[in-house]
Amino acid sequence: MIISISKNNTQEELTFYLSMKKTLLVLLLLPTLTFGQATKYVRQALRLTDPNAQIELLNEALKIDAKHLDALFYRGIAKYNLEDFDGAILDFTKIIFYEPDADSYYNRGNCKFNLMDFDGALIDYEAAVKLDPNLTGAYYNLGNTKLELEDYKGAVADFTKVIRFFPTDYNSYSQRALAHMKLNNYKAAFKDFGACILIRPNSESYYNRGYALLEINYYKEAKSDFLKAIDINRNNTPAYFYLGVTHFLLGEFDEAIKSLTFATNQDQMDYDAHLGLAIVYYYLNDFEKAKAKFERAKKLLDPSLTIKNSSVFNDTYWEVNEPQIFKEMYKRLDEL
């Protein structure tokens, strides 16, 4: 309805018009006021550190404005911090429905990754980098997702993109090295692990490079790295196991026993170390200890001892990485 004002309007008409105008102004102001109140709740929530308390305030904001994107976003983050990944996905999905943005795709991808929905995470990370090609965190997580999906070449490409942005990013070199390992590109993996040592010369870096060297049969060089890893961190139990393996492969049986024994003392459930000791003891003709360690390894893998063949050792280090030695030694140890 359009009302015109002129000098001919009666007093009653003017009074009615003014009252209508006041009502319209109030109606126009209400959305602004309610949106402002919702934003206040969001700001208050961001001052808190307890995710549950944050969610309570953000819920109040969303009661006022169900499409308040900031409230949805930060509630999604709070739910993620509480490991309510399904709930977080719902909030990020609402934002994407109303107004798609890279951060929401990225965070929804993180939720899906934690739920091991790697295909879903892949789609979200790809959408994130399409919207924001400079979102390096998404490239890094995209690389990790491709590792899980066994797309190792794709993973190498994504970690390489991160390294171009951040040439000293330790994690990207380390993860790219793992992808190279899966592709049997051991020399490339060795170079990346070397970069890790330059960036962060810690026990983990030497251990990882030692493992890469072991895979390409550089036993002496691998032994040197495992020794450095142990020298930096005496509690690096896996390094003792692989040091024992390299000693064995170099024919240093007494040293192999020392390292593998330390590994079993640190982790009594380490069936690979027990089997390794069984093999070394057999080489030393100490058949009694070889049999005891062999039985110990089998019992750790099959407590009920119902499996009567070599399949009990499927996917163990020796069966996967040293198949010829394993096949020969399993037969001999089983006959003891």
pLDDT in tens, the chain (336 residues): 343 434 444 555 434 443 444 444 444 444 555 657 889 999 999 999 999 999 999 999 999 999 999 999 999 999 999 999 999 999 999 999 999 999 999 999 999 999 999 999 999 999 999 999 999 999 999 999 999 999 999 999 999 999 999 999 999 999 999 999 999 998 899 899 999 999 999 999 999 999 989 988 999 999 999 999 999 999 999 999 999 999 999 999 999 999 999 999 999 999 999 999 999 999 999 999 999 999 999 999 999 989 889 999 999 999 999 999 999 999 999 999
The Cα-based distances of 215 to 17, 79, 181, 228, 303 in angstroms read: 88, 42, 9, 18, 31
Q: Walk me through the domains of the chain, giving residue ranges and CATH numbers.
A: 34-99 (1.25.40.10), 115-200 (1.25.40.10)
Q: What is the pLDDT of residue 36?
A: 79
Q: Are 235 and 208 in contact (CB under 8 A)?
A: no
Q: Are 74 and 87 in contact (CB under 8 A)?
A: no
pTM score, whole prediction:
0.76
Q: What is the pLDDT of residue 35?
A: 58
Q: Are 256 and 278 in contact (CB under 8 A)?
A: no
Question: Token pair for residue 179?
Answer: 């992808």
